[in-house]
Structure 1
């Protein structure tokens, strides 16, 4: 495949004429005569003084810092001078509060400099960690090839990771593998497309689309300083919550036509940037992770996708690890988090048990209830078992009228108590699983009415839900973070000890 130079990439991504170099004379690594000759030839061939270019520019009018490798310079390898240049650029971006767009294309560590070059990975990773700790975005565009120490440091730490189509990406370069093991590396493994399929890359796109996606992502990632208008927006088209039997809600929540998280995003959100997988080699189709905006309020959204789940593929440990990735993103970017609950339950299998399902539920609960970012949980449909509970403990909990939450599906509860499933409607009523029952216990703050059934009014319903989410997020973002977190912890400390008036809750579509 043809390889685009670092300079050409920056010209294509940044606004015309806005790039300004931050590079200074590379540090002297005291090369021997052979290495000095290699460096001289690389400089003459590329017109560059090292394998990386750093600087700043405007991306759709937004100031960003950029780091890019030039593969034509000693295979884009990273030695002491290149490592120092990268670190200085990251540190400057952090000081100046700039997001970073990094575009590696490297064979990895520069062998001519040995172990000291290898150790550059440590300080590069440390600088990026400090940048992210300052709630500043770090975006990565993996170009071909990106291998070795470059992939295992600054290439793998992105909040959003994009890749060039058909790019060779991997830890151990195929030529090294063949030399060490006297066999070719399996085909199709170290490709951008395969890494996306395994949740290591969020999207594969050509360079000409990079500016658009990066701009959309940064418009959300850099909006943490958003402050809502003093007066809350009106809440038109609200629907009174009807007092219906719990079993009716269970049946309504299971209708195939009922809108799910993707419809909610498509209808009620804007600037949606989908993310893929855990970032650790796993993908679960039952979970959606995205950057999005509800009206003018930015957020990280993680939701259970009812259409990505089935009896053969229930939510497993990977789904919860993807959820925890969303929680980390919210914490690192300083953005609100929205969780959407809609699941028939977690996987019951040997793989789920051995994959640590119970531990992942526990870690989700612990991380979500203590998260410093504002949080809103939406009980959109079915809320069965630990997989549902794992996304629940937020600052504010919203529920669709036919949303419900239970430790088991009513049929399972019936099987335990009555040794059959025919008493499921009675168990649904007795266990208090309805949205209005949950509001009466103080677990749910807002019940969003449905005109009989959301499946019969999907667009109007999703817009209603979107407005409710926007209102709650805007109010939470205006609050003191310390007080908000303390109030959340106290709230869940007292669950079950207080009750509200169910009659008052059922009287309106929006209850607080």
Structure 2
């Protein structure tokens, strides 16, 4: 059975020893003296050891100052009344004013029924405070505990930049007891469970209490980086590959060629995976993560070649996940790194009905207009609209044997010659090689393969990561308005 802890034990377990500093003032009086509700509150104080259903304060998390809000479920099921809401809002506003990341750990049945609609409306007030905190570019991390239901889940519990959940936790909008009372049958098993929500892209990870400090600290190493270190030296430039376009295509299709996951494993640190759109969709062909390449923090949106080839081709949900990454980068004022490596988007009735073409268009529009610095790494295959959707960055780096084409060469050959047999010739004629892309201004620089990334996966990933770090450092040092103007002009004049 998963470990369950109260509010005070949670903050003591997560924060550095001896650093917790409460912010709580005495709660306002919300019950008439001598009333049944006043007796309930007194009993809750006695049972829980807390004077309200949340505690708030600050402490150090691996040496970094953070604000915390933690629910105490033993106090009237962690329900939110007027005094509870005042405490939460005061803490969020103080965190915003002091520029602090905020870790929220709800565990609640929702609105406090004893206070009715006035308490129910406080969810909007709390949400407004969280929205202001996010608008200030400050990280908001959420840890959903057992159970989290009702208005809490539907407000401040669902607004995290990163959302984790306790193993086995009951998490849902409608409490199962209420559902059974209203409809006369039990709620289906396995739906409102942390692990199911993670699989569905509604929470990013299932994390035990003992691992929460590490996960949160890794995320904050990206979201709130320290002062920049010394500028790394420029990477060694690669010469354009010799050989034919078809040779590069065949090399890029090797099953042992390193992809986005290997790049993060070998070349990045403080990697924090995020799951899906956050809105109930997840696809294995697209990964989203927070990471650092050397000293450069970023949001990574990567096409996962193995996920796409093993039953998870890239579809509309994957592109919606990519757009979540773009929004995160803009809001948190972090660079965005896209990794292009795809045999092409999912071609099916389901993809058409899911809005594939529209999602490609929206990715393109978001990439071109994004306020954050953007870097594209063309890692291998670059087929069709799925590749193009993540391409238009401030700077584009390509692996020596990477390529970009409107269709797989076999498809282009079928269109032009009614047979796939002319694919090598079509690839050559269309100028798909990294060397051709460099010549045409689509790519800015090449990263070497010696002679093939599949033959030296770790060394290649380290080389690509070093090139990415150097490019990111240069981009973040550029005036934002000038950078966005240069990006718009680049893609306005492309091919002219």
> Would the alpha carbon gap of residues 286 and 343 (structure 1) be closer, same or farther in structure 2, given more than 3 Å must change?
same
**DSSP-derived class of the 1:495 partner:** coil
Aligned to 2:493: 494
Aligned to 2:323: 324
Contact residue 239 and residue 446 of structure 2 kept, 8 A: no
Aligned to 2:254: 255
Could you report, residue by residue, the CA deviation over 1:175-225 in whole angstroms, capped at 9, with x for unpaired residues?
0000011000111111111111111111112111111111111111101x7
Aligned to 2:366: 367
Contact residue 3 and residue 144 of structure 1 kept, 8 A: yes
Supply the distance in 2 between the matched residues of 1:392 and 1:81 (Cα, whole angstroms): 50
TM superposition shift of 1:60: 1.1
TM superposition shift of 1:3: 3.2
TM superposition shift of 1:239: 4.4
**DSSP-derived class of the 2:174 partner:** coil
TM superposition shift of 1:438: 1.1
Supply the distance in 1 between the matched residues of 2:448 and 2:394 (Cα, whole angstroms): 21
Question: What are the equivalent positions in structure 2 for 1:371-386 lying under 5 Å apart?
Answer: 371-386=370-385
**DSSP-derived class of the 1:280 partner:** coil
Contact residue 228 and residue 475 of structure 1 kept, 8 A: no
Supply the distance in 2 between the matched residues of 1:244 and 1:283 (Cα, whole angstroms): 39
Contact residue 238 and residue 400 of structure 2 kept, 8 A: no
Supply the distance in 2 between the matched residues of 1:315 and 1:382 (Cα, whole angstroms): 13
TM superposition shift of 1:449: 2.0
> Would the alpha carbon gap of residues 34 and 446 (structure 1) be closer, same or farther in structure 2, given more than 3 Å must change?
same
Correspondence 1:116 to 2:115: no
Supply the distance in 2 between the matched residues of 1:257 and 1:14 (Cα, whole angstroms): 42
Question: What are the equivalent positions in structure 2 for 1:73-472 lying under 5 Å apart?
Answer: 73-223=75-225, 226-227=227-228, 229=230, 232-235=232-235, 239-310=238-309, 312-472=311-471
> Would the alpha carbon gap of residues 226 and 446 (structure 1) be closer, same or farther in structure 2, given more than 3 Å must change?
farther
> Would the alpha carbon gap of residues 293 and 471 (structure 1) be closer, same or farther in structure 2, given more than 3 Å must change?
same
Supply the distance in 2 between the matched residues of 1:312 and 1:14 (Cα, whole angstroms): 41
> Would the alpha carbon gap of residues 456 and 309 (structure 1) be closer, same or farther in structure 2, given more than 3 Å must change?
same
Runs of 4 or more consecutive aligned structure 1 residues displaced over 2 Å after TM superposition: 27-32, 225-229, 238-244, 310-313
- In the superposition, the TM-score normalised over structure 1's length comes to 0.94
Correspondence 1:25 to 2:26: yes
**DSSP-derived class of the 1:423 partner:** helix
Aligned to 1:11: 12
TM superposition shift of 1:235: 2.7
Aligned to 1:510: none
> Would the alpha carbon gap of residues 218 and 312 (structure 1) be closer, same or farther in structure 2, given more than 3 Å must change?
closer
Aligned to 1:508: none
TM superposition shift of 1:241: 2.7
Supply the distance in 1 between the matched residues of 2:287 and 2:227 (Cα, whole angstroms): 24
Supply the distance in 1 between the matched residues of 2:213 and 2:51 (Cα, whole angstroms): 27
TM superposition shift of 1:38: 1.3
TM superposition shift of 1:106: 0.1
Could you report, residue by residue, the CA deviation over 1:96-120 in whole angstroms, capped at 9, with x for unpaired residues?
0000011000001111111111111
Supply the distance in 2 between the matched residues of 1:375 and 1:214 (Cα, whole angstroms): 25
**DSSP-derived class of the 2:309 partner:** coil
Supply the distance in 2 between the matched residues of 1:30 and 1:209 (Cα, whole angstroms): 39
TM superposition shift of 1:27: 2.9
> Would the alpha carbon gap of residues 329 and 407 (structure 1) be closer, same or farther in structure 2, given more than 3 Å must change?
same
**DSSP-derived class of the 2:157 partner:** coil
Contact residue 99 and residue 136 of structure 1 kept, 8 A: yes
TM superposition shift of 1:29: 3.0
Could you report, residue by residue, the CA deviation over 1:397-440 in whole angstroms, capped at 9, with x for unpaired residues?
01111111111111111111111111111111111111111111
Supply the distance in 2 between the matched residues of 1:328 and 1:235 (Cα, whole angstroms): 30
TM superposition shift of 1:18: 1.0
Contact residue 340 and residue 379 of structure 2 kept, 8 A: yes
Supply the distance in 2 between the matched residues of 1:118 and 1:360 (Cα, whole angstroms): 36
> Would the alpha carbon gap of residues 347 and 226 (structure 1) be closer, same or farther in structure 2, given more than 3 Å must change?
farther
- In the superposition, the TM-score normalised over structure 2's length comes to 0.97
Contact residue 228 and residue 295 of structure 2 kept, 8 A: no
Contact residue 162 and residue 203 of structure 1 kept, 8 A: yes
Supply the distance in 2 between the matched residues of 1:489 and 1:64 (Cα, whole angstroms): 38
TM superposition shift of 1:349: 0.9
Aligned to 1:474: 473
